[in-house]
Amino acid sequence: MSPLNLTTPRIKNILICNKTIADIPMSKPSINTFCNKFECEICGKIYKRHSGLANHKITIKDANVMKSTAYDLPEKAIEKTCRILVYHIKERLKQSSKHAGSVRIMISCTESQFFGVFKGYIHNYYPKTGNYKCIFKGINSYSTLSKVLGDDNWGVKYFLQHQKTFVLSYQQPSNPNDPDPLLELNLCQEPDPLQEQNQVKIYKAKKCRICKPKPIQIIIGWKRKEKSDVRNIVYSSGFIFINFTISRMRDIENLY
Ligand SMILES: [Zn+2]
């Protein structure tokens, strides 16, 4: 496990009208006037000022500093935790399509185990609850998690008949120039005022859903669950949760 590199918080390629923050000289205070957009590409938060994004980066850096509630674990213990996580992820990858789609797994895990595995990749820390959140998305998210978990096959399982089931980590954005099938459908039909009105409503509703697809990302976090009985006797445990999407395909590479 590579040690945490606090000098390079994991906000890469922050786009400001196709420029990165590093591209723009800090001495020019007029940056905001030509674009007015500072975005964290990991969580998608948009700030009006550069200082907003800079503060966001500081909170990410702080989130990756070990808290007093956690402690250092030996490398071997962290590796074992990675094996446990990979086991539970792979157990959800089944051959049948009925198991595809969004899933959430929860595994009992201490804060120190979570921190040992994901330090340097934590995006949010919530001081009130002591919970953490990591966001993995984009074209490199699978390989990043391969590095974190120390296993290239952490999110894929192969089956007979060249089938493979895998954790969906990235999807090419659809081409905005492609014809919209919903519009084409409307053009083929005879105009009927009532039907047209209804179709516009349906179209608007569908268009809304099309415009905002659920982002393909893997969310990994840690939270403490606390419960109590009628005598107010409290018991608690820490859990790691992993939200991801399962997909299936034919493994074309190994067909021939
Ligand atoms: Zn962010």
Tell whether 52 and 112 lie within a shared domain.
no
In this prediction, residues 72-82 reach a mean pLDDT of 98
In this prediction, residues 134-150 reach a mean pLDDT of 96
Residue 176 lies in a domain: no
pLDDT band for 214, please (50, 70, 90 cuts): confident
pLDDT band for 2, please (50, 70, 90 cuts): very low
- CA-based angle 127:130:131, to the nearest 5? 110
Residue whose token pair is 């107010």: 232
Nearest C-alpha neighbor of 220 from the set 237, 240, 247, 238: 240
Which is higher by pLDDT, 18 or 218? 218
What is the DSSP annotation of 217-238? EEEEEEEEEEEE-TT--EEEEE
Nearest C-alpha neighbor of 217 from the set 244, 241, 189: 244
Three-class secondary structure of residue 104 per DSSP: strand
pLDDT over 70, % of the chain:
69
Tell whether 58 and 74 lie within a shared domain.
no
In this prediction, residues 85-109 reach a mean pLDDT of 94
Tell whether 158 and 87 lie within a shared domain.
yes
Record the pTM. Answer: 0.72
pLDDT above 60 (res 116) = yes
- C-alpha–C-alpha distance, residues 41 and 27, integer Å: 23
The rounded Å distance from CA 62 to ligand 1 centre is: 13
pLDDT above 80 (res 80) = yes
The rounded Å distance from CA 72 to ligand 1 centre is: 26
Residue 43 lies in a domain: yes
Q: Output the pLDDT for position 97.
A: 86
The rounded Å distance from CA 135 to ligand 1 centre is: 9
Tell whether 205 and 101 lie within a shared domain.
no
Which residue, 65, 81, 111, sits at the end of a domain?
A: 65
The rounded Å distance from CA 253 to ligand 1 centre is: 36
Bridge-based pairing of strands 46-47 and 217-228 is: unpaired
Which is higher by pLDDT, 215 or 58? 58
Three-class secondary structure of residue 239 per DSSP: strand
- The amino acid at residue 2 is S
pLDDT above 90 (res 158) = yes
pLDDT above 50 (res 32) = no
What is the DSSP annotation of 38-75? EE-TTT--EESSHHHHHHHHHHHHHHTSPPTT-----H
Which residue, 26, 44, 65, sits at the end of a domain?
A: 65
What is the DSSP annotation of 85-133? HHHHHHHT--SSGGG-EEEEEEEE--HHHHHHHHTT---EEETTTTEEE
Tell whether 80 and 154 lie within a shared domain.
yes
The rounded Å distance from CA 166 to ligand 1 centre is: 26
**Which residues face 240 on adjacent strands?**
107, 222
- C-alpha–C-alpha distance, residues 238 and 112, integer Å: 10
Q: How many residues does the chain have?
A: 256
Instruction: Give me the domain span that covers residue 56.
Output: 1-65
199 CB contacts (<8 Å, ≥6 apart)? 186
Tell whether 109 and 23 lie within a shared domain.
no
Q: Output the pLDDT for position 250.
A: 84
pLDDT band for 148, please (50, 70, 90 cuts): very high
pLDDT above 90 (res 5) = no
Which is higher by pLDDT, 11 or 165? 165
Overall number of domains in the chain: 3
Residue 205 lies in a domain: yes
Tell whether 61 and 127 lie within a shared domain.
no
Q: Output the pLDDT for position 96.
A: 87
Mean predicted lDDT score pLDDT of the chain: 79
Q: Output the pLDDT for position 72.
A: 96
The rounded Å distance from CA 16 to ligand 1 centre is: 15
Tell whether 207 and 239 lie within a shared domain.
no
